[in-house]
Structure formats: C-alpha cells, structure tokens
C-alpha cells in the first residue's frame, strides 16, 4: 500500500506545480486585458445581451481567438493549457466573454486542427485566427444529453450534400462566420450515421434564427440555426462520412475542461469581489472580514476554488501530453461547476442586500454560474462518465 501511495504520474505532479514563466506572463497579460478592457463593458453587454464588436476585434488582435491555431496559419501556436488559462482569466471578469474564447479554441479550432484536410486548414484556420468566430452546432430539440439523436439530415446529391433541419442553443451563433455542424447521413445507423460539416455564414439555405433570452451569460449569443435545402460541396465535410460522433466525443471531452476553467474563473472573480467587500464593509464598528464567521466562510470558498483549479489544470496537462484525460475532464467540469454555483451564491450573501441588486457584480456572476451544470454535458452526464470509468476498475 505504501508503494502504491508513492506512485505519482508525471502529469499529476506537473499540474500541482507553479506555472512556467511563459505561462505566468501569458496569464497575467490576459488578466490585465480583462481588467482594463472587458470589465468596463460587462454591465452594458449583459443588459444589451450583446457582445461588444470592438472587444471581439481586440481579442483577435491579441491572439486570444487563435491560441491553438498553428503559427504557420497565423495563430499563436499555443497549447491547450494556454487556452484554459485564458478562459479562466477572462471568466473572472465576464464568463460570457470567457465562453466565446472557450468555444473558439477548445471546440472549433481543435476540431479543425485535428480532423480537417490540408486544404480545409488553409481555408479556415487563418480566418479563425484573424477575424472569424466559430460556433459548434450539435444540440437539437430532441438531442440534448442524448447528443446523437439527431434529426438534421444530410442527403447526398451527386458530389454535394443537402442539409435540412434545425439546431438549438448554439453558442456564438450571432457572431460566428464558421459553423461546425453535425447531421446524420443515415438515421437507421444511429450514432454511426453522424457526420460533421463546415458551414460558412451566408451559405444559401442556412440562416441564424431566434436568439435566446437567457438567465445568465447574456452577452454570449445563443441562437437556433435553420437549414432549408442547404447545399454543401463534398469538401465541406470534416473527417469521414459517419465519423462525426468521434469528432463530437473528442472535442466535447476537451471542451469540458474549458468549461471547468470558465467556472473556476467565475468562482475566483466572485471570491475576489467578496473579499474586497468584506474588508471595506463595516458592521458593529468593524469590517466584516474581522468576524470569524465571515473569515471562515471566505477561507472555505478559497479552498474549494483552489481544489477545482488544480483539477482543471491537471486535466488540461494530461490532454496536452497525450495521456488519458476523459475521467479527469468529467470530474473537473462537474466539481468546478458545483464550486462556482456555491461560491457565487455565498458571494451574494456576503454582500447582503447589495448583492441582490445589479449595481454590484456578484448578482451577475450568480446568474452566470447556473449554466455550468448544464452545457457541454450536464452534471448527471459527468457523474455517469465518472462512475463508468471508476467503478469498472474495482
């Protein structure tokens, strides 16, 4: 038993160490950008339910939208872990902006880097690094957690494919110029009929529909997509026919780490607001932070955040070194979303009545936190994955 306890995987040890100098500098630069440029826009974007266009342009100019795009295609050539650091830092200020960067890097860019042909990479990656937002279109009315119960059809016609159907709850849809769309070429084949396509904005027969009026992350667009006899050339297919399920599974497993990072950032932002408030807000003649009950509550919040952060970092490092990470990704996403909701709720309580009004930032973070347990795999789906990958080894 003692020998077993001493065994530690290199990736786990790496996740528990400090960031490298380059990683630390990168994270700090993103934090500074978020504080200086995103923070002043948070409330106005939330109320308008719209992402600031100039802000998106600035994020492209800084390389935040093409972190994982190889340098040969005009990107930053960064690691998956770099993307996680960026999402965390941005989400501490505004999780709505954080998810824009997350979907771009952990879902869209990753899928194209791994699965696209050389020609598709030359066509799309430079744009994703320079000025084009990507969106990931899997969900439908009848396929939420049952992700592959797709009704959107792709029918072969000569060398083309004709898409018909509707997608729902698609993040980044309003801003996106490129959509990774999953459809079935053979409904009878179940998940083996699922196929991925790259659809550009403006394609005939394709339109972005109604934008959802959401509880939280309101600046992040979430829209329906409508396909009516949308004709795509054969070279718009990403990967092979019937292999879309593999693309979806692999990218979503990675995307869950990104959502974990978003939730860690959100929780950390809520904690920082709470700590500052507790130091300045006085009751009974002294700051709240001098009361033991408040100090212990803030200490518990900080401990949970640190635990969630280490889980997210560990999963990201495992992914970067090519090790198995599916269980760790599910655990990180599940736990980080639990922590974010709890910490954001406690932050409102720390602020008291002030926390319940929109004049203070924790009200928004509380609303933003709820989605963490739902998108890119609900908490129940994460628990199912964790149970499968742990109980099977007993």
For 272-289, write each residue's pLDDT tens digit: 999 999 999 999 999 999
pLDDT at 147: 76
- Percentage of residues in the chain having pLDDT higher than 90: 92
- Percentage of residues in the chain having pLDDT higher than 70: 95
CATH T-level assignment (fold) for domain 246-391: Butyryl-CoA Dehydrogenase, subunit A; domain 3 (1.20.140)
Nearest to 11 by CA among 315, 247, 292: 315
Superfamily of domain 136-242: Butyryl-CoA Dehydrogenase, subunit A, domain 2 (2.40.110.10)
Nearest to 172 by CA among 109, 234, 235: 109
Give the CATH number of domain 2-132; options: 1.10.540.10, 1.10.10.10, 3.40.30.10, 3.20.190.10.
1.10.540.10
In the chain, where the domains are located: 2-132, 136-242, 246-391
Residue 47, SS3 per DSSP: helix
Write the DSSP assignment of 328-347 as a string of letters: HHHHHHHHHHHHHHHHHHHH
Which entry of 140, 304, 341, 376 is annotated as an active-site residue? 376
Contact by Cβ (8 Å): 230, 167: no
| Residue 37 DSSP symbol | I
**Largest Cα–Cα separation, the chain:** 79
Tell me how far apart the alpha carbons of residues 11 and 321 are, in angstroms, rounded to a whole number.
Answer: 8
* pLDDT greater than 80 at residue 3: no
Range scoring the smallest mean pLDDT among 74-88, 131-145, 326-340, 359-373:
131-145
Buried b (16+ CB within 10 A) or exposed e, 67-83: bbbbeebbbbbbbbbbb
Dump pLDDT digits (tens) for 246-267.
Answer: 999 999 999 999 999 999 999 9
Note if 376 is an active site residue: yes
Tokens 């279109």: give the residue: 137
Region of 207 please: left (phi>0), alpha (psi -120 to 50) or beta: beta
Dump pLDDT digits (tens) for 376-392.
Answer: 999 999 999 999 999 98
Determine the distance from the C-alpha atom of residue 32 to the mean position of all C-alpha atoms in its chain, rounded to a whole number: 21
Q: What is the mean pLDDT of residues 20-39?
A: 96
Residue 9 binned pLDDT confidence (cut-offs 50, 70, 90): very low
Residue 75, SS3 per DSSP: coil
Q: Is the pTM of this model over 0.75?
A: yes
Distances (CA, A) of 103 to 29, 205, 241, 255, 297: 21, 24, 24, 7, 33
């Amino acid at each position: 038993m003692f020998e077993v306890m001493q065994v530690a995987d290199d990736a786990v040890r790496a996740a528990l160490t400090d960031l490298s100098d380059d990683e630390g500098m990168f994270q700090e630069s993103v934090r500074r950008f978020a504080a200086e440029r995103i923070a002043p826009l948070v409330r106005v974007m939330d109320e308008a339910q719209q992402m600031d266009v100039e802000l998106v342009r600035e994020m492209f100019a800084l390389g935040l939208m093409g972190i994982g795009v190889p340098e040969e295609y005009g990107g930053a050539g960064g690691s998956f872990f770099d993307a996680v650091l960026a999402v965390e830092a941005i989400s501490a200020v505004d999780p709505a902006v954080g998810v824009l960067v997350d979907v771009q890097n952990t879902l869209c860019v990753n899928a194209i880097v791994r699965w696209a042909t050389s020609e598709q990479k030359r066509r799309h990656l430079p744009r994703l690094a320079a000025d084009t937002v990507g969106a990931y279109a899997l969900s439908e009315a009848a396929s939420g957690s049952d992700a592959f119960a797709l009704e959107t059809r792709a029918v072969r016609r000569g060398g083309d494919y004709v898409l018909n159907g509707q997608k729902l709850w698609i993040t980044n849809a309003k801003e996106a110029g490129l959509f990774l769309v999953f459809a079935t070429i053979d409904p009878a084949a179940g998940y083996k009929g699922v196929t991925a396509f790259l659809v550009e904005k403006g394609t005939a027969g394709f339109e972005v529909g109604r934008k959802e009026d959401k509880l939280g992350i309101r600046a992040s667009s979430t829209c329906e997509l409508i396909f009516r006899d949308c004709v795509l050339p054969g070279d718009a297919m990403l990967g092979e026919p019937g292999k879309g399920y593999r693309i979806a599974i692999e990218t979503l497993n990675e995307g869950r780490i990104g959502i974990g990072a978003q939730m860690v950032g959100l929780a950390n932002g809520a904690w920082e607001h709470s700590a500052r408030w507790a130091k300045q807000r006085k009751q009974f003649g002294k700051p709240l932070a001098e009361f033991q009950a408040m100090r212990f509550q803030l200490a518990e919040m900080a401990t949970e955040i640190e635990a969630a952060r280490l889980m997210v970092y560990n999963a990201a490092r495992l992914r970067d070194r090519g090790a198995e990470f599916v269980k760790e990704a599910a655990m990180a996403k599940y736990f980080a979303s639990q922590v974010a909701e709890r910490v954001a709720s406690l932050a409102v309580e720390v602020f008291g009545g002030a926390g319940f009004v929109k004049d203070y930032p924790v009200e928004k973070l509380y609303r933003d936190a709820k989605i963490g347990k739902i998108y890119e795999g609900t908490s129940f789906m994460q628990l199912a994955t964790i149970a499968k990958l742990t109980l099977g080894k007993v």
